[in-house]
């Protein structure tokens, strides 16, 4: 008696088929969970800059060694990145005008504890056309803005004693951090 090849084949038992199906389902589910976790972690990092301290002090003529005729204010801004991602300050605005638009000698910037990627690292500068100040997560920095008095018409527009100056810090990720300070 001759049997055909097809008649001798047996199917898998239902128990083994169920075990294989459940194993494949678990492997696919774990793979999808890891993939979704990696996508979610990329979207949950954020920068958050806090400005805990902002104040202004008078500067009298002859106090600055690099500009003896400068009369105005030293605006001190202390920053802290409390977010989970690094931040880069790429512009600072005074009364909604970017620093780069001010005339030479009307605004100076000094950054304390600055990284080497910025042109103002440890030096006073009034060349503010390309600003890049890195603040790593958890790091603090201090910005010093020297703003020239506009009483004689030669300083920053609207900056006279007793006025409030709006300062906005803009980061490379597109976020703005506004603050204001009253000039003494």
Task: Please provide the DSSP assignment of 23-44 as one string.
Answer: HHHHHHHHHHHHHHHHHHHHHH
Q: Are residues 156 and 176 in the same domain?
A: yes
Cα separation, 17 vs 101, whole angstroms: 73
pLDDT in tens, 18-57: 999 999 999 999 999 988 888 877 677 888 999 999 999 9
Query: Bridge-partner residues for 79, per DSSP?
Result: 141
Overall domain count for the chain? 2
Residues 125 and 174 in one domain: yes
* Residue 83 shares a structural domain with residue 169: yes
Same domain, 105 and 40: no
Structural domain harbouring 146: 49-182
Q: Are 109 and 92 in contact (CB under 8 A)?
A: yes
Same domain, 120 and 153: yes
Q: Do residues 93 and 28 both lie within one domain?
A: no
Distance (Å, rounded) from C-alpha 23 to C-alpha 17? Answer: 10
Q: Measure Cα distances from 162 to 90, 123, 173 in Å.
A: 29, 29, 34
Report the candidate in 118, 133, 131 with the shortest Cα–Cα distance to residue 81. 133
Q: Both 147 and 68 in a single domain?
A: yes
CATH number at residue 54: 2.60.40
Tell whether 103 and 36 lie within a shared domain.
Answer: no
Whether residues 13 and 101 fall in one domain: no
Q: Are residues 84 and 22 in the same domain?
A: no
66 and 138: one domain? yes
What CA–CA distance (Å, rounded) separates 165 from 178? 11
pTM flag (> 0.95): no
pLDDT digits (tens, 9 = 90+) for 106-155: 777 777 755 433 334 344 554 566 778 889 999 999 888 888 887 766 67
């Amino acid at each position: 008696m001759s049997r055909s090849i097809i008649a001798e084949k047996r199917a898998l038992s239902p128990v083994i088929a169920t075990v294989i199906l459940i194993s494949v389902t678990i492997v696919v589910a774990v793979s999808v969970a890891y993939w979704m976790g990696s996508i979610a972690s990329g979207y949950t990092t954020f920068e958050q800059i806090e400005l805990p301290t902002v104040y202004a002090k008078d500067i009298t003529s002859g106090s600055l060694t690099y500009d003896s005729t400068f009369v105005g204010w030293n605006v001190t801004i202390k920053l802290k990145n409390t977010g989970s991602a690094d931040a880069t300050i790429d512009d600072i605005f005074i009364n909604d005008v970017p620093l780069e638009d001010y005339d030479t000698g009307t605004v100076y910037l000094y950054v304390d504890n600055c990284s080497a990627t910025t042109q103002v690292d440890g030096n006073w500068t009034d060349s503010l056309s390309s600003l890049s100040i890195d603040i790593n997560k958890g790091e603090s920095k201090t910005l010093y803005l020297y703003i020239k008095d506009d009483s004689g018409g030669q300083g920053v527009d609207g900056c006279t004693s007793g006025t409030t100056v709006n300062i906005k810090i803009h980061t490379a990720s597109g976020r703005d951090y506004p603050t204001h300070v009253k000039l003494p």
